[in-house]
Amino acid sequence: MRSTIFLLIAAATCGVFASSSIPANRQSLNPQSSISNQPSAISHQRSVLIVDGESAGPYHRWQLTTPVLKTILAETGLFSVEVVTAPAAAGELAGFNPTFTGHGAVVLNYDAPDDRWPAALKAAFETYVRDGGGLVIVHAADNAFAGWRAYNEMIGVGGWRNRNENAGPHWFVKDGALTSDPSPGPAGSHGTRLPFAVTVRDPNHPIVKGLPTTWMHQGDELYASLRGPGRNMTVLATAHSDPANHGTGRDEPQLIVVQYGRGRIFHTTLGHDVNAMSSVDFVTTLQRGVEWAATGAVTQKVPVSFPTATTVSYRADLAAMDPAFKNGLNPLDPPRK
């Protein structure tokens, strides 16, 4: 039996960000080049392929999180889900040649360096997305392939793996507009894992339509300082990166959609671990985001257990997929000194 647990917490007060002395470029949160929301004509639009197999470190445990992602998607009844695990050593990738064509969406729970995939595999992936295949980027997948130009156009923004101003400007929301800052510096930061408020910025987009304007997300890494080309990118939701938790003081993109050719991409920065993925808002936005990436439409209703502006909500059945759950809910990070 599925059980959902509600926790009452105090909503954080958003601080005011002081603008940089460097002029910032600004654009609409919902640009003219916004992604089409019309259903695609892909024949296998509900077949989903999850790719995993590597992370930059032991902190992203794909061996635990991939089964959670598969459970979340399969339970909708909308998707047939296949998992393919890439070898972690470049020399073993000669025989790694997954078929992307025919899948409605590819979900990346995967973070690898630039040289990991051979050129032919990268070209096949680019063709799949450009020709209308759906793509979903989960959390650390936006760390991957820092020097692969097409990949960074697909994800909109990314972090870490030595990304800097050459990857593109920082992107954030200021005064209701998507804003870029080209100042030099590294890409990617986060504070300790704490619950935080998520705010919808494009309420008419199918993925977030009907969701509360603001809700609380279970303890997770709040990604900030992401950089990238930001082309054909729409920010669906942000979270305030609190300076009291090593944050930027900015409203940072958390849920993003991008168009690459005819392909639709849903990018969620949420989902560091099983604990974060058990949050009902992660479950809901992932299910809706995959459906939209695959079909261009969302048919799923918002669950009654969806969190509110003052309450987080998580699924104990999903949290229990972490073996450590028998010791209690995965504790969040201790405060940094």
- Cβ pair 223, 155 in contact under 8 A: no
The pair of three-digit structure tokens given for residue 202, joined into one six-digit string: 């494009």
Give the mean model confidence (pLDDT) for residues 97-103: 93
Which pLDDT belongs to residue 270?
98
pLDDT at 21: 29
Q: What pLDDT shows up at residue 299?
A: 96
Task: Flag whether pLDDT at 7 surpasses 80.
Answer: no
Return the structure tokens found at 74: 């399969």
Domains in the chain, ordered, with CATH? 4-13+30-88+97-323 (3.40.50.880)
> Which pLDDT score is estimated for 39?
46
* Residues 133-145, mean pLDDT to the nearest whole number: 97
94 — pLDDT class (breaks 50, 70, 90): confident
pLDDT band, residue 327 (cuts 50/70/90)? confident
Q: Angle at CA 332, nearest 5°, toward 331 and 334?
A: 110
pLDDT at residue 268, as a whole number: 98
